[in-house]
Amino acid sequence: MGKEIEILKPYRKRIDDLDKKIVDLLVERVGIIREVAHVKFAHDIPAALPYRIDEVRENAAQDAHSKGIDAELVRSLYATMIEYSCKLEDEMMDDMRQAEKTKMKAK
């Protein structure tokens, strides 16, 4: 078993390095989602836009398929990310509405 671990070590290191990059990209994506929540709130746009959800998921699935990755895997991953993003936007927009109400009551 020790030999197997040594053989796999460089691959595991590469995967671990990629995982860190993926998390960094997710952090960046969530940062943009937070910005979008503010814009949507300011312009009274709902958090979930079904046409956009489908577009993002399908664009990613098609890109994955064209690069030899299982499109269904990517659809599933994106469905999870999009669900999280919409929930985050909803929560942020609820907080902004609540803050606005509190501010109005204070006047």
- For 30-69, the DSSP string reads HHHHHHHHHHHHHTT--S--HHHHHHHHHHHHHHHHHTTS
Q: In whole angstroms, give the CA distance from residue 105 to residue 75.
A: 44
**What integer pLDDT is reported at residue 53 of this predicted model?**
95
Residues 47 and 37 sit within 8 Å (Cβ to Cβ): yes
Tens of pLDDT along 29-83? 999 999 999 999 999 999 999 999 999 999 999 999 999 999 999 999 999 999 9
**What integer pLDDT is reported at residue 105 of this predicted model?**
86
Is this structure's pTM higher than 0.95?
Answer: no
| Alpha carbon 49 to its chain's center | 15
Tens of pLDDT along 13-30? 999 999 999 999 999 999
Q: Which domains does the chain have, with CATH numbers?
A: 2-106 (1.20.59.10)
**What integer pLDDT is reported at residue 70 of this predicted model?**
98
Q: In whole angstroms, give the CA distance from residue 19 to residue 45.
A: 34
| Alpha carbon 91 to its chain's center | 15
Start-to-end CA span in the chain (Å):
70
Say yes or no to pLDDT of 86 above 90.
yes
